[in-house]
Amino acid sequence: MASIHMQKLVKKYGDLTVIPGIDLQIADHEFVVLVGPSGCGKSTLLRVLAGLETIDGGDLFIGDRKVNTVPPSQRDIAMVFQDYALYPHMTVRQNMAFALEMRGMAGDEIATRVQQAAKLLDIDPYLDRRPKALSGGQRQRVAMGRAIVRDPQVFLFDEPLSNLDAKLRAQVRTEIKALSQTLRTTMVFVTHDQIEAMTMADRIVVMKSGVIQQVGTPEEVYETPANQFVASFIGSPS
């Protein structure tokens, strides 16, 4: 069963058509990396999947449910943003608990989930700190923890490593990949970093101006790029 199914999906901002019609299926438990130059519509597509933007045409299915107009909180999806978007006035524990409290989940269930996610991500020593008192890498983990406690079917990552230094980036890359295997969830990971794409993806989706240029395994897009754009973007030998 497909975890995500986009059918002629269209997104416009006023007169600007950012996504003229995307067809893409993402399988259950698949790790898909979406790459393309700045401004090509990667963040827009994630926001559409998350329900943070309305769609202007086509259909979107998550699992076997059509979610075109379903609000974000009811989509079984969690998104990790580039800037982490943590609440500065809340502690790490409160940041992680907030969405669950909004859902009306019982307090002891929330406490258990927060504790488990914090342990998984090695942030349990910081649960009572505020984001300001954390390093970039720790903030990044809190943002992931906030997604994990919701136990979603699908995780969306929008360039989650771009604010980390190169060494930490390599480490967190490995951790996110391992996490996807532990949690057995579907991951859609946006980056403009070709190395991230090549090392993390089951399949890479290469996008240009809101149009998919190629979908394939890292080997396929590297060895047999569909066109010159893909070849130069991925860095295939010519």
Q: Where do contacts with ligand ADP occur on this chain (CB under 6 A)?
A: 13, 16, 18, 36, 38-44
CB-CB neighbours of 94 under 10 Å: 15
* Terminal-to-terminal C-alpha distance of the chain: 37
> Which CB sits closer to ligand ADP, 49 or 134?
49
The option from ligand ADP, Mg ion, none interacting with 69 (CB < 5 to 8 A, set by class) reads none
Q: Which does 13 bind (CB under 5 to 8 A by kind): Mg ion, ligand ADP, none?
A: ligand ADP
Of the two residues 43 and 138, which places its CB atom closer to Mg ion in the complex? 43
Q: Supply 6's token pair.
A: 């986009």
| H and E: helices and strands count for the chain | 8, 10
Classify strands 77-80 and 211-216 as parallel, antiparallel or unpaired: unpaired
Report helix, strand or coil for 32. Answer: strand
Residue 39, binding choice from ligand ADP, Mg ion, none, Cβ under 5 to 8 Å by partner class: ligand ADP
Q: Is 180 in the site for Mg ion (CB under 5 A)?
A: no
Cβ proximity to Mg ion: between 39 and 136 the closer is 39
Q: CA-to-CA distance for 104 and 161, rounded, in angstroms?
A: 32
Task: Please list every residue from 19 through 48 that binds Mg ion, using CB under 5 A.
Answer: 43
Tell me, by CB under 5 A, how many residues bind Mg ion: 1
> Residue 15 CB, nearest distance to ligand ADP (Å)?
10
Of 73, 135, 53, 126, give the one whose Cα is nearest residue 95: 126
As beta bridge partners, residue 96 has none
CA angle 216–165–186, rounded 5-degree value = 35
Closer CB to ligand ADP, residue 18 or residue 172? Answer: 18
Nearer residue to ligand ADP within complex by CB, 131 or 210 = 210
What's the min distance (Å) between Cβ of 13 and ligand ADP?
A: 3
Q: Residues interacting with Mg ion, by CB under 5 A?
A: 43
